[in-house]
Structure 1
Amino acid sequence: MGHSHDHGVSASEATSASSKYVWRLAIAIGLGLITFVTQLLVGLSTSSLALLSDSAHVFTDVFGVVMALVAILVARRTVRRSDRSFGMYRAEVLAALFNAVLLFGVAGWVLYEALGRLSEPPEVPGLPVVIVAIVGLIMNVAALLVLRSGAKDSLNVRGAYLEVMADMLGSIGVLISGLVTLIFGWRYADPVIGVLIGLFVLPRAYNLGKQALRILFQHAPTGLDIAEVTAALEGVDGVWEVHDLHVWTLTPGMEVASAHLAIDDAADPDAVLSASQHLLADSFDLHHATLQVEPVGMAEDCRKKSW
């Protein structure tokens, strides 16, 4: 009987997908704070409900990005102990889930405010709103460009990306409502845009929360067919059966697998281990796999204990 595992990278190189984008998140936070302070000051000085409402939206989103950054730093700097073998990487996933809840709350609040304004549309000053909206739009576009690459392979950065995207839509909405108010004096522009923003954010918040819950429930990574992995391992020379196969995500970019391989009596355990590990890494991008090789006679006992 044999037992082995494969990391694919050295311990010094091992890292979560999110930790590569710490400085990008910090820049996005700085840009968001500029937008928040500008909107708040101008909103207070002009008594603009639109700007004050959007500044609250921006503050909530910046807070969400700050949480994502803190979670990454905690996960990266926490020392592993014998009773904490996986470190604190799940903190990133919890922060992503909290961001999803935050997005739901903000979208609901925006919809509530927008519907309220349909009955009594507030006075929205045109020119100052347009100027501040342009400033916010520039800051949001810059933040999106900073976070775009990280949003592809990190759930946490994707959450921050969605926060900034919601802010950008808010800036566009405020800009449109300001222009319409300035040119046509139509007060309903602001609540109509608010409804559209809320409807845009809600499904994206749902998808982010769904992905975070999949990780927390230790479901297989999205797009990975467990039956296909099983069939591929059973195709390795010497493997008679595969059981107790588990594949889960520790945090985005860190997928983990474990399995029992029942082999023929004539098979070479070391050769089976090596071939199986290379198969998982090359064909399924599973570089951290713990595999147990055992005689065929032990398979029945394992199946009885399997959960």
Structure 2
Amino acid sequence: MSARHEHGSETAAAGRGRGQGQGHGHGHAVNAAADRKLLSGALALIVGFMIAEVIVGLAAGSLALVTDAAHMLTDAIAIALALLAIRLAAKPPRGGFTYGFKRVEILSAQANGITLLLLAVYFVYEAINRLIHPPEVQGALVLITGLVGIVVNLLATWLISKANRSSLNVEGAFQHILNDLFAFIATAIAGLVVLLTGFARADAIAAFVVAVLMLKAGIGLVRDSGRIFLEAAPAAIDPQALGAELCAVDGVVEVHDLHVWEITSGEPAASAHILVAEGLDCHQIRIRIEEVFAERHQLTHSTLQVDHATAGLAEHCTDSHGVVHRSPTTAGQAPDPASPAH
């Protein structure tokens, strides 16, 4: 019989590894209460200016201002959902929700990304119509509103940049407002062009710029949230390379059922079945593997099943998922590349 050991905890080595991240781990210095205050301040700025911008945009006949206001609406929704996610994520796991509600932020990020994409398509359509039939645009109002928008977005961006951007929702809101900053610059330039030259189509061209920024942000949010929902490996971790790396640990014979995913943004996890050479200390090898996870990949939550590779055990997982990784020195065999699962 083989010795079987299962483990799933955050070790001291994992904690040290987490500190080596780039500001996107659980050890972020800003606590949830401070994050809520920063996000609430940014939300108040965005909502207040958004209402004023809609009024001025309609009065000035500026599509660029209305598109900016719509983009800011999605920003406001993103920040509001981020605030909700912070509260829900703080709730402990219970009942069937074994991870708690940490993926609420991913749901809101995906919804926000889809909304951005739909709005972008609509505003591209409207901009094309205005290029063909340009309406009268009051350049002075557009210019003034654009300049004020630059100031408001600079302040809102600064506030959110101080919050915990390991959250995909918070990072998405930050990127949106940063994009808004560039959009307001384009709007102000359009207003100046209309004011000085009377070229009304400059407003529609600025609207195109805003729509492109919407598309960029929306695609990024949908892609990143989709990867988490599909439980794909984090972009910074290659499972194939990780499997080979684990097989290089002294005493490891085989690694299979290796899975790497994200519970929520910035919170990766892994599980694997590890076979080690007969007679070696499974616990010491497990600790070394956890150190590899934490120190090299900032992966601080793992569940490992560790067994001795007794005769015939290496083939016992007839339905293992993914690639089977074997040590090149197993039983004196020649180097064997990762083979398909059984």
Q: Residue 119 of structure 1: which of 132, 136, 156 is its match?
A: 132
Does structure 2 conserve the Cα–Cα contact (< 8 Å) formed by 1:19 and 1:72?
no
Q: Per-residue displacement from partner, 1:103-153 (whole Å, max 9, x unpaired)?
A: 112211221221111122122222222222211111112222233466864
Farther-moved stretch of structure 1 (264-273 vs 145-154): 145-154
Does structure 1 conserve the Cα–Cα contact (< 8 Å) formed by 2:255 and 2:274?
yes
Q: Residue 42 of structure 1: which of 33, 56, 59 is its match?
A: 56
Q: Residue 6 of structure 1: which of 6, 9, 13 is its match?
A: 9
Letter in 1 for 2:110: L
Aligned residues: 303
Q: Partners in 1 of 2:296 and 2:67 — Cα distance?
A: 50
1:300 and 2:315 are equivalent in the alignment? yes
Q: Shift in Å at residue 55 of structure 1?
A: 2.5
Q: In structure 1, what is the equivalent of residue 328 of structure 2?
A: none
Does structure 1 conserve the Cα–Cα contact (< 8 Å) formed by 2:64 and 2:206?
no
Give the alignment's TM-score, normalised by structure 2.
0.80
Q: Secondary structure at the match of 1:305?
A: coil
Does structure 2 conserve the Cα–Cα contact (< 8 Å) formed by 1:16 and 1:251?
no
Q: In structure 2, what is the equivalent of residue 130 of structure 1?
A: 143
1:186 and 2:199 are equivalent in the alignment? yes
Q: Shift in Å at residue 202 of structure 1?
A: 1.5
Letter in 1 for 2:38: R
Q: Report 1:124-163 matches (<5 A).
A: 124-148=137-161, 153-163=166-176
1:199 and 2:212 are equivalent in the alignment? yes
Farther-moved stretch of structure 1 (159-168 vs 220-229): 159-168
Percent sequence identity over aligned pairs: 33
Runs of 4+ residues deviating >4 angstroms: 14-20, 44-50, 149-152
Q: Per-residue displacement from partner, 1:70-108 (whole Å, max 9, x unpaired)?
A: 22322223x311422111111111111111111112211
Task: Give the number of the structure whose residues are more often helix, by fraction.
Answer: 1
Q: In structure 2, what is the equivalent of residue 174 of structure 1?
A: 187
Q: Shift in Å at residue 48 of structure 1?
A: 5.1
Q: Shift in Å at residue 215 of structure 1?
A: 0.8
Q: Partners in 1 of 2:314 and 2:228 — Cα distance?
A: 29
Q: In structure 2, what is the equivalent of residue 96 of structure 1?
A: 109
Cα 1:203/1:19, change in 2 over 3 Å:
farther
Cα 1:60/1:268, change in 2 over 3 Å:
closer
Q: Partners in 1 of 2:150 and 2:283 — Cα distance?
A: 58
Which 5+ residue runs of structure 1 have no aligned equivalent? none
Cα 1:266/1:49, change in 2 over 3 Å:
closer
Which 5+ residue runs of structure 2 have no aligned equivalent? 17-24, 322-342
Q: In structure 1, what is the equivalent of residue 332 of structure 2?
A: none
Farther-moved stretch of structure 1 (245-254 vs 229-238): 229-238
Farther-moved stretch of structure 1 (126-135 vs 189-198): 126-135
Q: Shift in Å at residue 286 of structure 1?
A: 1.1
Q: In structure 2, what is the equivalent of residue 284 of structure 1?
A: 297
Q: In structure 2, what is the equivalent of residue 216 of structure 1?
A: 229
Q: Secondary structure at the match of 1:195?
A: helix
Q: Secondary structure at the match of 2:279?
A: coil
1:22 and 2:36 are equivalent in the alignment? yes
Does structure 1 conserve the Cα–Cα contact (< 8 Å) formed by 2:183 and 2:209?
no
1:60 and 2:78 are equivalent in the alignment? no
Q: Partners in 2 of 1:294 and 1:168 — Cα distance?
A: 55
Letter in 2 for 1:88: F
Farther-moved stretch of structure 1 (105-114 vs 15-24): 15-24
Farther-moved stretch of structure 1 (57-66 vs 280-289): 57-66
Q: In structure 2, what is the equivalent of residue 32 of structure 1?
A: 46
Q: Residue 65 of structure 2: which of 51, 68, 75 is its match?
A: 51
Q: Shift in Å at residue 220 of structure 1?
A: 0.7
Cα 1:211/1:37, change in 2 over 3 Å:
same
Q: Residue 86 of structure 2: which of 72, 86, 100 is its match?
A: 72
The alignment yields a C-alpha RMSD, in angstroms, of 2.6
1:269 and 2:272 are equivalent in the alignment? no
Does structure 2 conserve the Cα–Cα contact (< 8 Å) formed by 1:32 and 1:139?
yes
1:227 and 2:240 are equivalent in the alignment? yes
Q: Secondary structure at the match of 2:268?
A: strand
Cα 1:152/1:59, change in 2 over 3 Å:
closer
